[in-house]
Amino acid sequence: MGIKFETPITKSETKETSNFFDFLNKDINLFGNSFSNKKKENFYARLGILLKSGISLNKALELIAESQKKEKNQVLILGLSKQIVAGESLYEVLKANSNFSPYEYQAIKIGEQTGKLYNISNDLFLFFRQKNEQKRQVYSALSYPLIILFTALIVVYFMMQFVVPMFVDIFKQNKVDLPWITQMIVDLSNFITSYGGYLFLLLFTLPFILRYLKKQAWYRRRLDSLKLKIPVIGSYLKKVYVTQFVQAMALLTNAKVPMVNSLSLAQEMIPFYPLQSSLKEIGSNIIKGEKLSDNFANYSLFDKDMIALLKVAEETNQTEFVFQKLFEQYSDDLKYSSQIITSVLNPIFILLVSLIVGVILIAMYLPMFKLSSVIG
C-alpha cells in the first residue's frame, strides 16, 4: 500500500509503578472519546505496517504506544497490549473501550477470524484518512465565510456601541424627527448597549451549551434535519454524509459483512440523524425480503445514480464493487463541490457585510440631510 509513518516510531522511556496496570482501565475510561479520528488514522497505519513486518500484535501495540507524544494515549494503547497478553482478542479489547466504534471492532473481528488483520488495519487506515480529508474539505469550504461573518458581527457591534450613539446625541440636540429605519437602528443600538455584557456571556457559554445539547437525541434530530434545509450548505453537507456512507459500505461489503449488518454498522459510523433513520428502516425492510434498491429509492438522501447502480449490483451480485465506484465518484464530486461552495459563499458573505454596514450608515445620515436642509 506504500503507507508511511507520519512520525518515526522511536523508543522512549516510560515510568511505571507496580500498581500501574491495576488502575489502567479506570484511566482509559476517563479519556472519553479523546482518541480522535486523526489519531486513529495514524494508529491503524502503524498497526498494519508492524503486523505486515511479522511483529506480534502485543509488541506492535507497545511500539505504537512508545511513539505517542501524549501520556494518555500511551496509557490507552499500553492497556490494549496488556489485555492482549492476558489472553483477550483485539476485538474484545476494542469493544470494551469507549474510544472505538462498533464498525472498528466488528471489522477487527473479521480480520482475526479470517487471519487478515493486516488487511483490515489498512482498510481502517484508509477509512479514517478519507474521513479526515473530507473534514478538512468542509473546514476549507466554510472557514473563510465564517471568518467574514464573525468579522461582520464585530463591525456591527462596534458601530452600534460607539458610532450610532454619537449620531443619536446630535439628533437629540437638534430635535430631529427620525425616519423609521433610523429609529430601528437606534433601538437596536440601545438594546446592545444595555445588554451587550449579557450577549457576550451568552456567546462565551454557547459552546458549552451546544456540547451538552449534542448529547440529546431530540436536539441532534432537529439540528440535522435543519442542516439539509440551509441553502447551498444543506446540499453540500448531504454529499459529505452520503460519501462517508458509501465509503463505509464499500469497506464492509468488501470484508463480506452481510448487508443488514453493514447497514447497522454504518448507522453507528455516521452520526447524521436523517441518514441513520433511513438506514434503520431500510435494514428492517430488507429483513422482510424487500429489494435494496427499491428501499433506497424511497429516500431523497440518495440520488438516482446510486439507485440505478444498486439495481445493477443486485442483478450481478457485485455490491462491493458498486459501492467502491460510488465512493470514488462521490469523492471527486465532493472535492469539486468544496471549490464551488467556497467561490459562491465568499462573495455572498462579503456582499452581506457591505449591505449591513451600508444600511447602518444610510440610516444615520438620512436625518443629517434633513438637519442640513433645516439649517440652510
The pLDDT tens digits along the chain (376 residues) read 333 333 333 434 333 333 333 333 333 333 345 688 889 999 999 999 999 888 889 899 999 998 888 888 888 999 998 999 998 999 899 988 888 887 788 788 888 887 888 888 888 888 888 888 877 877 777 777 778 778 877 888 888 888 888 888 877 887 777 888 888 888 888 888 788 778 778 878 888 888 888 778 788 888 888 888 888 788 888 888 898 899 888 888 887 788 888 888 888 778 889 999 999 999 999 998 888 889 999 998 898 889 999 998 888 888 888 998 998 888 888 888 877 877 777 788 788 878 888 888 888 888 877 666 555 4
Report which of 125, 103, 105, 100 is spatially closest to residue 32, judged by C-alpha positions.
Answer: 100
Distance CA 211, CA 215 (A): 7
Distance CA 11, CA 67 (A): 7
250 contacts 320 by C-beta, under 8 angstroms: yes
What are the helix (H) ranges across the chain? 24-30, 37-52, 57-66, 71-85, 90-95, 102-114, 117-158, 164-174, 180-213, 217-227, 233-254, 259-269, 273-287, 292-296, 304-316, 319-375
Report which of 45, 126, 142, 143 is spatially closest to residue 331, judged by C-alpha positions.
Answer: 126
Distance CA 129, CA 294 (A): 32
Q: Residues, the chain, total?
A: 376
Three-class DSSP category at 305: helix
Cell numbers standing for residue 68: 505517542
φ, ψ of residue 55 to 5 degrees: the values are -75, 140
134 contacts 240 by C-beta, under 8 angstroms: yes
Distance CA 94, CA 28 (A): 12
Provide the terminal-to-terminal Cα distance of the chain, rounded to the nearest Å: 82
Report which of 151, 148, 103 is spatially closest to residue 127, judged by C-alpha positions.
Answer: 103
Does the CA dihedral 166-172-176-182 come out positive or negative?
positive
